[in-house]
Structure 1
Amino acid sequence: MKHAIARTLTSILHGTLRGLLRAWVLIVPLVVALSVIRWGQLAYFWPQGYKASGSDLLAVAVQGFRFDLKVSAIAGFLLLLVLPWVSFSAQRRLVSGLVLVYVFLGFINLHYFGFYKTPIDSVIFGLFEDDTAAVLQTVWHDFPVLGTLLAVALTTALGIAVHRLILRWVQPDTRWNQRAVVLRLAVVTVAFIALLFAGKGTIRQMALQRQHLTVTTSQFLNDMVPNGVIALKYAWDNRRQSQNLSDPLVGLKALGFESPQAAAQVLGLPSATEAEVRDALYRHDPLPAATPKKNLVFFLMESWSAEPMLYQSPTFDVLGRMAPTLNKACHFSNFESAQPGTHPSLEAILFSSPITPLTMGDAGRKPLPWGVAQVAKQAGYDTLFVTSARSGWRDLNRVLKVQGFDEVIDANNLKADYPEATVGLWGVWDSFVYRYLEKRMAAQPKNKPLFVFVLTATNHPPYDLPADYQRVPLDMAQWKGETSEATLVPNLDTYRYAHDLLGAFVQTVQQGPLKDTTIVAATGDHNVRSFGVYADASRRYLMRQVPFVIWGDKLQCGNQLTQPASHRDMFNTLFPLAGIEGGYVNAGRNLLKPLPAQPDPMNAPRGLFFTGEARNAQGMWQLGNPKSFVCTAAKPPAQCEFNALDDQQERARYGLLDWNVRISLQK
C-alpha cells in the first residue's frame, strides 16, 4: 500500500514537473515571435526622418519583452491543466496552434496601428457590428492580405522551430532518477514560482498594467510596447466596463472620484446632492428674448481631417468650392474629434456619451431625452437624418427614430428617388445627399424650423469615386505631412470630392432664400487613416484633429477660433446660435463666446478625446497619467509640462458625462 501511494505521488510529481518544463519551453517561442513582430512593426512604420534615442528604444524593448513574457507565461500557466498529461505529439500540435494565434493577433495589431494609429482598442469589435462583409472587402482591397498571411506563416514557422530546438535541449519528458524526489520537488517549486512572477511581469513591484505601457515621451514608441494579445485584452476590458451600466459610478471611480459630488466640486458646480449636480449639468445661460429659431443643418463628414487644410493652395486644392466660403465662416482650426471611429463619434455627438457602443442594446430602445435630436424636436423642429450610407448599419434605422428623428433617409431611399444612383460598397455617392437636401429644404414650411443631421460616406476606403468625376491634379510637393501610405493620393481625391460638394451646398444656401434663416455646420468624424502615424511629438496632436466650421448670416466668431476645443463643444455652440435652449447636457463650452477673463473650469480652452486623452494650449496627455504628457505647442513656453489641475478638471468633466449616461439609464 505504501509503495503504491509513493508511486502515485512520484508520478504526480513527475507529471507536474513535466508540465512546468513544457510550459516554460512553450513560453520561449511565443516571446520570440511577439518580439520579432514588434521590431518588424517599428521598422515598417518608422517615419522618414524620425529620430529616437537609444535609451528610448531600449525602454521599448525591455518593456515590450516584459509584456510578451507576461502574456506567454499566462498561457503557459493556464495550460498546466493539460500539459502534464498530453502526449508529446499532442503537446507539439498545441504549441503550434498557440504560436499561430499569438502571431496572428500580433499582425492584426500591426495593421490596426497602421489604420487607427493606436494599438488594438475597443473599436475593433465594430467588425461584428458594422457591415462585416463590407469591412472585410475593404481590408482585402486596402491591406496586403496575402503578404501578411505569408508573414504570419513565416513567423509562426520561426516560433515552431524555436520550440523544437528548446525541446531537444531541455527534454522535459525525460524521466528523472526515481531517487531525486527532493531535487524534483525543488525544481517544481522554483519553476512554478517563476511562472507566477513571469505572469505578473515583475518581481517586487505591482503587476504590469495598462499604465506601464507608457515608457517614453513619444506616443509612437509607447504604442510599440503592447503586443496584440495584451492590446486585445485591454480593449475587451474597456468594452466590458463601458457596457456595465448597472453601476453608475464605475466611470467616475476609474477616473479617481468616489461620487458625482466630488467631481462637481472640482468644476465649481453645485454639489450638495446628486440631483443638484444633474441640474447643473443641464443649466445654460438664457437666450435673449425673442431669439428666432433658425434651421440647423449639421454635417458629420467621413474622415474630414484637419491636416490637408493646412496645405490648401491653388495648386493643392483639396477643398474645391468650400475654400471661398471659409472667409465668412467660423472655422475652428484647433479641434479634436471625440472618437477614432464613425459610429463612436456619432454617439458621442448625438448623446454627449463617452460610452460606446451605447445604443446597440437596450439603451437604444428608449429615448435619451438629452440627445440632440430629442432636444431639437422638443424645441419645435422637424428632425431629419440623411446619409449616403445604408441606415441598417449599426441599427441606425431603428435607433435614430427612437432617438428623436422624424425621418431617416439613407442610400436605399436615395436610390429610389434617383434611379441613376449606384449603390456601392458603403452606399451611394455623396452628391445624391445634396440633391435630396436642396429639394427637401425648399419644401419645408416656413413656420416650421428644420434640424438636419447628415452623415456622408464617400471619403472612405477603398476611396472610389463616380466614373464621371474628373480628378483634380494636386501638386504633392505642397504636402508637408508623412507620405508613406500608397493610398494618400486616392484619399486626397475623395477628400476633395466630398468637401467640394459641401462647399457647393453652402454656396447654394448663402445665395438662396434660406440665407438668413439657416445655420450650416460641419465637422469630421475622425482623422483620415492614410495621413501618417504622427510619430514626431510636435505633430502628434494632428492625429486627432478635424475641422469644425459654422456658416451663417452675420456670424460673430469671437476669440476662440484657434483655442483647443473638441466635439463636445459643438452643440453647446450651435443650439444657442439656432435659438434652441434647454434640455441638452452641458458637455462643453460655447465657442462663440469670448473666453472668460478669470479661469473657469467649465469654459477652459481644452479639448477632450473620449478614449481618455486631453489637450491644452501646451500639449496633450492621457487622463491621470503625467508621464504621457507631450508638448505640442507651436512655440513651447519655457515650462511646457503636465498641468495637474487641468488633468483633474478634465477627469471630472469626463467622469460626469459618463455618470450622466449611466444614471439616466438606471431609471
Structure 2
Amino acid sequence: MTRTSADIAAATASPADPRLPCLLRLCAAVMLATWLGNLLIRGFGVMTLTPDAHYVAVTTSAHEWMLWLWYGIRYDVLLSSWGMLVWLLPLAMGRAMFASTPAMRATFVGGVVLWFVTVNAVGLVEHFYLRYFGVPFGPQIFSIYDDDVGVAMDAAAHLLPVGAALLCVLGLALMQTWCTLRLTLIPQRRATWRDAIVQIAVITMLWVAACGEPAARLTAQEGVSVARRPLLDDLLVNTPVRLYLALRQSREATGRAESPNRALKSHGFENAAALARALRVEGQSDKADEGDEVNDGGEGHAYDSTAVLQRAAWHRTAPNAMLVAHPPHVVFGLMEGWGGYGLSLDADGFPIAGAMRRHLDAGWWFRHAVAARSDTISTLEHLLINSGSQSLMLTDSAVPMPFTCAAAGPFRQKGYRTVFVYGGPRTWRHIDRVMRQQGFDDVITQADIVARYPRADTGTYGVYDGYLWRYVHDMLEEADARGQPLFVFALTMSNHWPFNVPDDAATGPFDLTKGWRASPANAVERDERQRGVRAYRYAMDALGDFIDRLKYSPMSSRTILVATGDHRAPQWRDFDNVSLSPFERYHVPIYFRVPRAHQPMGPVRLDDFVGHRDIFPTLYHLALSDAPYVGFGEPLFGVVPIARRYAVAQQRYLFSTQGAQDLRSGVRYTHVEGGDADVLGQQAADANASLALSEWFGEMQRLTKPAPAASKE
C-alpha cells in the first residue's frame, strides 16, 4: 500500500516534538467556548434579572427562544472572529514560528486565558449595570467618568458577592482555556499544501464573518429585536460587541453631518418630507404663500421640508394679561431616585411618603407618569433641551453649545431670573459651564450652599436635600421682595446610593417586607435596605417641609411648584420584588402645586398616562403669556386629542388608557376593559413620529447655530 504525504508526516512526527495550534481547530474551539460562556452569562441574567424566571420561560414562545439563541450565536461568532483576527491569530502564528521557545508557549496560553477572562468579566460588569439601571450599556458609558456609571459600579459591589463572582469568572475562563487548548494543540509535523489551503480558507472565513455583510447587519444602528420581553433583547448582544456599538454611537458626535437623517431612518422615515407627512404639517412651510400648491418637487415655491419640521417643533402660549402683570415664580425639582413604586407602598404601617403625604392629594398628583430615560444625566437632557437623541448632547463636547430649545429660555425671555441649583459639586459633568450656556443666569452648587449654611451636612454626592430646598426658599423670598420673577431648576442628590442621610432623619426601623419578598436574613443586607428606605423617606420629608414653608409664606399664592423623579427608585429593583409590572419599572411621580389664581379653566388630566415630555409645556401655559417654546408633549390640563394622550418611557415603551406597546418590536397589549386596539395603533404612530421629530430636531440643533427663539410668529 502506498503511503500518503499525510501518513508520512504523521509517521515522522516525534512524540517529543512540541504541540502546535491547528488554526481550524482553534477557530472552532474559541467560537464554541465563547458562545457557551456567553450563553451561561445570558442565562444567569434571565434568572436573576426577572421577578419570575419560570413565568418568563413559559410565556416566551419556542420561536422567540430559537431566535434568541440563533442571534446570540451570530453575535458570539462575530465577537470570536474579531478576537481571532486581532488577538489570537497573531499569537498562534507566533507560537508556530517559535515553537521551541518556552516564553512564546506561555504567551500563547496566557493570551487565550486573557481572552476568556476579558469576555466574561465585561459581561459580569454589564450584568451589574443592567441590574442597577435597568438598561444595558449605551453611549453614556464613554462619557465623562465621574457620573452615574461609576456610581453603578460602586453600587454593584453591594448587590452581589463580587469576589465570588470574579472567582466564577476566572474559573469559567480557565475551563474554557483548558478545553480550547485540549482541542487545538496537535503534534508538530511538516506542513503540506493542504494546510496552506485550509489556513487561507480559515482566514478568509474570519474576515468575512468580522467585516462582511453579516457583520454589517448585526451592527446596524437599528439593532435586533427577537422577543416581546425587552430583557431578552437586552441580553441578546454580548458585552464586547455592545461596547463597540456604544463606542461607535458616542463617536458619531464628531461627525454629525448625517445624524439628523439617521435619526429619521431609525424611526422608519426615509427623509424629512416623509416625517412631515406623518405629522400632517407638510403644508405649513413659511416659504409657501397662501393658495400656492405645496409639493415635494412641484412648480411654484419650493417645498422646504426641513423648515417645515423646524417650525413643527415650536408652539406658543396664549396671551394672558394677568400673567403679564403678575408673573408667578416657578420652581421645578428633579428628585434623585424618586420612583413611583416606593410611593405606592405608603401606608400607616409603612410611612415612606413622610411629610409629602399631606401634600400629594392637595396638589396635582399624576399617578400614571413615567420617566423619559433611565439615568440622571439623560433625563436631565430630555427635560432641559427636549433631547430625543440616543447620545448625550449637553456634555459630549469640551465646549458646550447653547440650544434654542433649552427649557429656561422662554422664562428668561419674559424677564425671569433663571437659576439652576444642584446639590453636588460643580465639577460633575462641568455642570456650571454647561448650564450657563442653556439660559441660566446663575448656577448654584454644593460649594455655594455650604458657604451660605456652614453647618450644612454633606453626603457622598453632595449636600442633603433639606439644605438645598432651604436655599431655594431663601432665593424665592429675596426675589419676591425685589419683585423679580424667578425660575428655579433644582436637582437633588440625597436619595442616592450609598443612601446616607442626616442624623436627624427619620430612623425607622421600617418594615422590610414592603415591596420585597421577605426581609433579608443577612444583617448587612438588612442594614443596607433600611438605609435605602430612610433615604427615600428623607427625600420626601425634605420636599414636604419645603412645601410647608412655602405654603405659609406670603409668596405661596404666586409660586408654582413641580417635582418629579429622574428615574425609578434604586431601592426597589425587579429581582427584589415578587412582581413589577412594565409600568412600575418606569413609573415616577409628577406633582404640581398650582396657586388658585393660576389654575387653568380646563380639566386636569389626572387619569391619563403622562410623562416628562409634558411637564414644561404645562409650565409655559401656566406661567407665561404669548411665549414661543419648543415642546413635544401636551399640557397636563385641557382637552387633548386622544391620539396624543399617551406616555413614552425609555424612548420606546408606550403607555395609555388604551393599553401599551413596544415601539421597537411592535408588540401590543390592550386593556381587557375599555382598551381600543385601533386607538392604540394611532397613538403608537403618533408617538413614533413625535420621537423622530424630537431626535431629528436635537441633532439639527447640534449642526446649526442657535436661531432666535421667537421663530414662530
- Structure 1 residues 471, 94: closer, same or farther in 2, change over 3 A? same
Q: What is the CA–CA distance in structure 1 between the aligned matches of 2:566 and 2:511, rounded to whole Å?
A: 26
Describe the superposition over 1:629-664 as per-residue Cα deviations: whole angstroms up to 9, x where unpaired.
253x66466776996544433232122222222323
The 5 Å alignment of 1:371-386 reads: 371-386=406-421
| CA apart distance, 1:17 | 9.8
From 175, 179, 184, the equivalent of 2:189 is 175
Check if 1:606 corresponds to 2:638: no
Q: CA deviation at 1:407?
A: 1.9
Q: Aligned to 2:515, which of 473, 479, 493? A: 479
CA offsets 1:113-159 (integer angstroms, 9 cap, x no match): 11112222223234625288766655545553323322222222222
Deviation at 1:326, TM superposition (A): 1.6
> Quick check: 1:376–1:580 contact (8 Å CA) kept in 2?
no
Comparing 98-107 with 650-659, greater Cα deviation is found at 650-659
- 1:206-245 matches, within 5 Å, as 207=218, 213-241=224-252, 244-245=255-256
Deviation, structure 1 residue 432: 0.8
Q: What are the residue-to-residue correspondences of 1:48-67 with 2, within 5 Å? A: 48=52, 50-53=54-57, 55=62, 57=65, 59-67=67-75
In the alignment, which of 698, 701, 712 is matched to residue 664 of structure 1? Answer: 701
Correspondence for 2:340 among 306, 317, 337: 306
- Specify whether residues 562 and 201 from structure 1 end up closer, same or farther in structure 2 by C-alpha distance, changes over 3 A only: farther
> Aligned residue for 2:595?
553
1:523 maps onto 2:556 in alignment: no
What's the CA shift for 1:75?
A: 1.8
* Aligned: 1:567 with 2:621: no
| 8 Å Cα contact 1:608/1:614 also seen in 2 | yes
Question: Which of 458, 463, 483 is residue 447 of structure 1 equivalent to?
Answer: 483
- Provide the secondary structure at the position in 2 that maps to 1:441: helix
SS at match of 1:232: helix
- For residue 404 of structure 1, the aligned residue among 425, 439, 454 is 439
Deviates more, 1:64-73 or 1:553-562: 553-562
Question: Which deviates more, 473-482 or 347-356?
Answer: 473-482
1:584–1:470 distance in 2 versus 1, CA, 3 Å: same
Task: Give the corresponding residue for 2:709.
Answer: none
More off after superposition, 465-474 vs 614-623: 614-623
CA distance in 2, matches of 1:136, 1:145: 11
| Residue type of the alignment partner of 1:32 | L
Question: Counterpart of 1:6?
Answer: none
Question: For the structure 1 residues 117 and 664, does the alpha-carbon distance in structure 2 shift closer, same or farther, using more than 3 Å as the test?
Answer: closer
Counterpart of 1:352 in structure 2 is: 386
- Aligned partners of 1:60 and 1:224 also within 8 Å: no
Alignment of 1:393-542 (within 5 A): 393-444=428-479, 445-479=481-515, 487-533=528-574, 539-542=581-584
Equivalenced residues, count? 638
Structure 2 CA distance, aligned partners of 1:125 and 1:642? 40
| 8 Å CA contact retained: 1:339, 1:611 | yes
Aligned to 1:331: 365
Q: Structure 1 residues 76 and 499 mapped into 2: Cα distance closer, same or farther (>3 Å)?
A: same
Cα distance in 1 between the residues matched to 2:39 and 2:350: 41
Equivalent residue for 1:155? 172
Aligned to 1:550, what secondary structure does the other structure show?
A: strand
Are the aligned partners of 1:35 and 1:68 in contact in 2 as well (CA < 8 Å)?
no
Picking from 363, 377, 402, the partner of 1:343 is 377
Percentage of matched positions with identical amino acids = 24
Distance 1:662 1:254 in 2: 13
* Aligned position for 1:584: 629
The CA deviation string for residues 191-231 of structure 1, in whole angstroms up to 9 with x for no partner, is: 45654676589989965767674333222333332222222
Distance 1:287 1:175 in 2: 89
Q: Following the alignment from structure 2 to structure 1, what is the Cα–Cα distance between the partners of residues 214 and 419? A: 59
2:372 is paired with a residue whose SS is: coil
Deviations 1:44-88 (A, max 9, x none): 334257513463555544443332233123322444762452116
Q: How big is the shift at 1:249?
A: 2.5
Cα 1:362–1:33 shift into 2, 3 Å:
closer
Q: State the partner residue of 2:585.
A: 543
Stretch of structure 1 that moved more, 144-153 or 534-543: 534-543
How high is the TM-score relative to the length of structure 1? 0.86
For 2:384 and 2:566, the matched residues in 1 are separated by 12
Q: 1:47 aligns with which of 45, 51, 64?
A: 51
Aligned-partner Cα distance in 2 for 1:416–1:141? 33
**How far apart in 1 are the matches of 2:559 and 2:42?**
52
| Equivalent-residue separation in structure 2 for 1:281 and 1:212 (angstroms) | 27
Corresponding residue SS for 2:403: coil
State the distance in 2 between where 1:239 and 1:47 align.
32
Deviation at 1:352, TM superposition (A): 0.3
Residue type matched to 1:409 in 2?
I
Matched residue SS, 1:365: coil
For 1:256, give the aligned amino acid: G
CA deviation map 1:5-36 (0-9, x unaligned): xxxxxxxxxxx994444333332332232222
AA aligned opposite 2:622 = L
More deviation, 91-100/77-86: 77-86
What is the CA–CA distance in structure 2 between the aligned matches of 1:32 and 1:243, rounded to whole Å? 37
SS in 1 for 2:440: coil
* CA shift for structure 1 position 338: 1.7
Supply the AA of the counterpart residue of 1:278.
Q
List gaps (5 residues or longer) in structure 1.
1-15
Structure 1 residues 624 and 138: alpha-carbon distance in aligned structure 2, compared to 1, 3 A threshold: closer
1:620 CA displacement: 4.2
Residues 589-609 of structure 1: per-residue CA shift (max 9 Å, x gap): 11112223xx55xxx012223
Segments of structure 2 that go 5 or more residues without pairing to the other structure are 1-19, 100-104, 286-302, 706-713
Partner of 1:4: none
- Say whether the 8 Å CA contact 2:30–2:180 is kept in structure 1: yes
1:22 aligned to which of 11, 20, 26: 26
Task: Name the SS of the counterpart of 2:280 in structure 1.
Answer: coil
CA RMSD of aligned residues (A): 3.3
CA distance in structure 1 between the aligned counterparts of 2:685 and 2:137, rounded to whole angstroms: 27
1:289-328: CA deviations, max 9, x gaps? Answer: 3334110000000011011222221112111111111222
Say if 1:211 and 1:463 are closer, same or farther in 2 by CA, change over 3 A.
same
Of residues 294, 315, 321 in structure 2, which corresponds to 1:283?
A: 315
- Distance in structure 2 (CA, Å) of the matches to 1:505 and 1:265: 47
Match of 1:101 in 2: 118
Counterpart residue number, 1:117? 134
TM-score by length of 2: 0.81
